[in-house]
Each structure stands twice: as C-alpha cells, then as structure tokens.
C-alpha cells in the first residue's frame, strides 16, 4: 500500500519558520511502526507554507497514495479541512484518516468531513492495525482507538489503553520516509526525540490528561540512545526532547544525562521542557549535569508568577520550591538561577489573561520576563477541547472568539473581568518585541553565520505591523498592533 502522511502548515507565533522548523515526530513514529511492505512518505507542510497546494498536489501525483493520514491540532483544523477537500479532488478513491490531539478530543468536528477514519489517542498500534485490516479487508470493529464509517454511520470503537513503552511495542521512528527537507532550530539541522510520555499533573489548560490519562511511561535508555543516534545520522545537530514532562522523575532524568555523556552524544545541542519545581529542588546537582550533557535551552513552565493565577491554572504544585519537606514558595527564581549559573538559556513559558488578571498583574508577569527570561514564550489562556479551563470559560461566558485557526496560544480569544481579549493580547505583543530583540546577541555568539543571513528576516517577523513612524514614536503603537493582527490573519491562509 502507498501511504502519504501529512502534518499541517500552521505554525506558532513564537516559532517563526525563519528560525525554527521542527518535524512532527508522530508521523515518523507511525511510519516506523508499519509493516515494512508499505511504501510510506512523510511530509511536514510547515516546510512549504507558501506552496501548500502545489506541494500536496505534487506529492499525490508522485506517490499515488491509497491511504492518506493527517496529524491535526486544534488551531490547524481549518487548514486540515481545506487540505482534505484538495485531497478528495486529487485522489477521490484514497482512504483518508485523521489523528492527533484535535481529532481525539473533538472527534465530532470531523464527522461531517469527507474522511474515512479517525485515530483517537496514540496512533502507532491503531494505525498499524488499520493498515492490516485494509490489506486483508477484515473487520474494523475490534481495532481499539479507531472511529470508522459503517455505511453512513460512524462507529467509535473502545479507546486503546496508553502504551506502556517499556515493552518495546513502539518501534523507532522511520526518518527515511521524509520527503521534504529543511528542519532547523536557529540555523542548525534539528530533529525531535521522545524519552517518555505522559504527565501526572492536572493543569487546567493542558490537553495531555484528556489525551492519554494521568500516567507516566518511559522508554529504555538503549532505545533513546538509538533514537538520538538515528536522528544524528540523518543530519541533526540539535535535538528537541519533546517529552510531556521529562523532569517528573528527576532521578531518571539525571541518569539520562549520564547516558548521553557516556554515549558520546553530549556534542549535540539539546532543547528540553522542564518544571520549575524539579529544577529548583534539584538544580544544584542537576543543572551542572544538564550542561555537561549538552543541554542549551530549557523551556521552563513558569506559567505565572502570581499565586492567584497559578491557582486558576492549577499549576501551583509544579511551581513550588521545597526544603526539609516543606513548601517554601515559588520555585521560579531559584530554577532560573541554577540554569543561568550553568550557562543554559531560559525559554520562559508564561500565561497571562486569566479571569482575574488586571493590566497591573499582566505587567507584573511581563516585567518578570524582561528581567529574568532569555526568550519569552508568553501565551494566553486558550479553550482547547475538553480541558477544565474550557469548561470554566464557557461557564463564565468569557470566550470572545470562536475562530479555531486563531487558537494558537498567542492570539487572545478570551476576555476577562477587567480587559478585552484584544487588550490582553496588545499588552503581551508590545512587551515581547523588545525581549526577543535583546536575545539576538546571544544567538549571534552561538550561530553567527545564521544570524548574519537571517537577522533582517527575524527582525521583520518580530516587528510585523510596525513602520518607521512607529519606531520614531509618530504614531500610536495600537495602530501597529492592528496592522500586525491583520498580517497574522493573512498569514494563516495557507491554502
């Protein structure tokens, strides 16, 4: 069977393609877990944002797929719908399957689309069983995690239990199936690797618990090392470890750092996401070890520096410092200090615009980011399907914007008791531009040739909407903000 797997072209505001183009690791994992007789092609459409229609058309003609899979997040749903319509016009008889966070958590939204299957939850085994059933023309009713059409009626099979990972049921990704090139982080060829899946915290804004339940499962280090070596053999010099919560088990994370060093893989650059509490409570020994292992940037889930907002986000526990078995306050400053002391950079994940936020409380978080964060990743509360936050926003009647293509985290779609959605977004937008610009000398020291070639493009992206009049203070920043909003709307028209 010929199989084409597509990820959507929509990108996050904080990850402009001029600087960051990361692959969808789920697709190569799907490819690696199929029976070897299939011919599989993986295409990350983020690599061709301005030529999506032409690229999809070419790939369909070249590959002649019998089965086409799309990985979709909520803010990518509109693009997915348009690409599905294009695929139907190009290859009417091909079977189309969708999977990922949005089809799993909002399956009903896809039932009216011209598709054949929905994979709910983790997809490797479900997708493999689907391809076998299609090959053998066998019954679909017993494939856990699959939704499928029976006549004109949708059948939703029972959910599949989360993979335990320790049993080697999930094989290594097949990166050789990629048919597009150009994955980079700050000019260096990049790839993604996972060492674990899951989280046991219950942050109100997060979809992980709804996606796979409250659990934490890990791969063996032998498999992780093999995966990193495979990424390296395909050209990667920067690895983003995409685990949901790699610091949930600090002792395991320390052992992973040792494993990277022992394997001679400490020459790569690693990006990772971490909890402030884990790094603050173990940072004296953990942070130097991370630096030795090659970790360069740490996405720190700060979420908010005000306790009232952390309570709303249900994120207090993972941001609490502890000593002698007691809670001693917010862990953020201690975590940042350990990382900076050990020559790592902090990507500061904050969320502003919660129901009780005022302009002053938002500014308190922005001021903190200006002083302590190397690269801002500031977002707004976003009502993703089936999260506790969404239920609360609907109960309070705070959702202003139902255009899902704008549910990208940096477009404010929810007002609060004091501010409109636009005002919340304006405060973030105005503050962030300077923060990003201040980090450029650091990037230059690490990758001078990349910055030399792309500085103009990065600056143009950061200051979209601004003109010389804006820079000279001859017009209100709000006019530049409204131009930025319009540019952003136009950018979302990928197909």
- Note the pLDDT of residue 328: 47
CB neighbours of residue 91 within 10 Å: 18
Residue pair 32/173 in contact (Cβ under 8 Å)? The answer is yes
Least confident range of 36-40, 334-338, 417-421, 446-450: 446-450
Rounded Cα distance, 28 and 120, in Å:
17
Kindly report, residue by residue over 44-82, the tens digit of the pLDDT: 999 999 999 999 999 999 999 999 999 999 999 999 999
Q: Measure the CA–CA gap between 194 and 211, rounded to whole angstroms.
A: 17
DSSP class of residue 406 equals G
95-99: strand order across its sheet: 39-44, 2-7, 67-71, 95-99, 117-119, 146-150, 153-156
Sign of the alpha-carbon torsion through 378, 379, 380, 386: negative
Give the pLDDT of residue 451.
Answer: 86
Give the C-alpha distances (Å, rounded to integers) separating 98 from 69, 81, 105, 295, 403. Answer: 6, 10, 12, 34, 20
What pLDDT does 70 receive? 98
pLDDT per position as a tens digit, 188-240: 999 999 999 999 988 888 888 888 889 999 999 999 999 999 999 999 999 99
Q: Percent of the chain, pLDDT > 90? A: 80
Please name the residue that has the structure tokens 């007789």.
37
Strands 196-197 and 269-274 turn out to be unpaired
- Higher pLDDT, residue 327 or 441: 441
**Are 100 and 26 contacting, i.e. CB atoms less than 8 angstroms apart?**
yes
More confident residue, 479 or 167: 479
**pLDDT band at residue 136, thresholds of 50, 70 and 90?**
very high
The residue behind tokens 């139902």 is 402
Map 434-495 to HEC letters. Answer: HHHHHCHHHHHHHCHHHHHHHHHHHHHHHCCCCCHHHHCCCCCHHHHHHHHHHHHHHHCCCC
Q: Output the pLDDT for position 336.
A: 95
Q: What is the largest CA-CA distance in the chain?
A: 69
Q: What is the Cα–Cα distance from 495 to 480, expressed in whole angstroms?
A: 26
Nearest-10 Cα torsion for 270, 69, 220, 252:
50
CB within 8 Å of 119: residues ≥ 6 apart: 69, 97, 98, 99, 103, 104, 126, 127, 130, 145, 146, 147
Contact of 397 with 449, CB cutoff 8 Å: no
Mean pLDDT across the stretch 298-327? 70
The pLDDT score that the predictor gives to residue 80 is 98
């Amino acid at each position: 069977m010929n199989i084409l797997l597509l990820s959507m072209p929509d990108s996050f505001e904080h990850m402009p393609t001029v600087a960051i183009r990361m692959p969808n690791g789920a697709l190569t994992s799907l490819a690696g877990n199929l029976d070897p007789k299939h011919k599989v092609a993986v295409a990350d459409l983020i690599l061709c944002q301005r030529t999506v229609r032409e690229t999809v058309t070419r790939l369909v003609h070249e590959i002649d797929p019998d089965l086409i899979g799309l990985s979709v997040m909520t803010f990518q749903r509109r693009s997915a719908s348009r690409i599905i319509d294009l695929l139907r016009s190009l290859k009417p008889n091909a079977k189309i399957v969708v999977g990922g966070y949005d089809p799993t958590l909002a399956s009903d939204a896809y039932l009216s689309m011209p598709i054949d299957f929905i994979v709910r939850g983790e997809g490797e085994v479900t997708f493999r069983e689907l391809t076998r059933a299609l090959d053998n023309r066998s019954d679909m009713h017993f494939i856990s995690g699959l939704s499928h059409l029976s006549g004109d009626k949708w059948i939703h099979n029972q959910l599949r239990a989360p993979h335990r990972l320790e049993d080697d049921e999930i094989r290594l990704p097949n990166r050789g199936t990629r048919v597009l090139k150009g994955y980079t982080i700050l000019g260096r060829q990049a790839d993604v690797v996972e060492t674990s899946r899951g989280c046991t915290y219950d942050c109100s804004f997060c979809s992980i618990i709804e996606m796979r339940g409250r659990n934490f499962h890990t791969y063996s280090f032998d498999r992780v090392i093999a995966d990193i070596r495979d990424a390296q053999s395909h050209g990667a010099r920067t690895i983003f470890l995409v685990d949901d919560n790699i610091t949930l088990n600090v002792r395991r994370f320390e052992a992973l750092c040792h494993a990277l060093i022992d394997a001679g893989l400490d020459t790569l650059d690693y990006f990772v996401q971490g909890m402030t509490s884990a790094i603050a409570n173990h940072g004296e020994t953990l942070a130097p070890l991370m630096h030795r292992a090659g970790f360069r940037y740490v996405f720190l889930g700060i979420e908010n520096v005000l306790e009232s907002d952390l309570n709303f986000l249900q994120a207090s526990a993972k941001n609490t410092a502890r000593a002698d078995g007691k809670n001693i306050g917010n862990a953020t400053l201690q975590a940042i200090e350990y990382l900076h002391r050990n020559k790592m950079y902090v990507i500061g994940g904050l969320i502003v615009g919660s129901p009780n936020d005022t302009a002053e409380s938002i500014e308190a978080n922005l001021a903190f980011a200006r002083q302590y964060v190397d690269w801002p990743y500031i977002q707004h509360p976003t009502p993703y399907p089936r999260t506790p936050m969404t239920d609360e926003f609907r109960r309070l009647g705070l959702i202003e914007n139902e255009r899902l293509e704008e549910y990208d985290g940096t477009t404010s779609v929810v007002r609060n008791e004091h501010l409109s959605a636009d005002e919340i977004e304006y405060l973030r937008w105005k503050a962030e531009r300077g923060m990003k610009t201040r980090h450029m000398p650091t990037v230059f020291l690490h990758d001078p040739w990349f910055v030399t070639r792309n500085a103009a493009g990065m600056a143009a992206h950061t200051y979209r909407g601004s003109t010389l009049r804006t820079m000279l203070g001859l017009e209100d920043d709000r006019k530049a903000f409204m131009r930025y909003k319009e540019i952003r709307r136009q950018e979302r028209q990928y197909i």
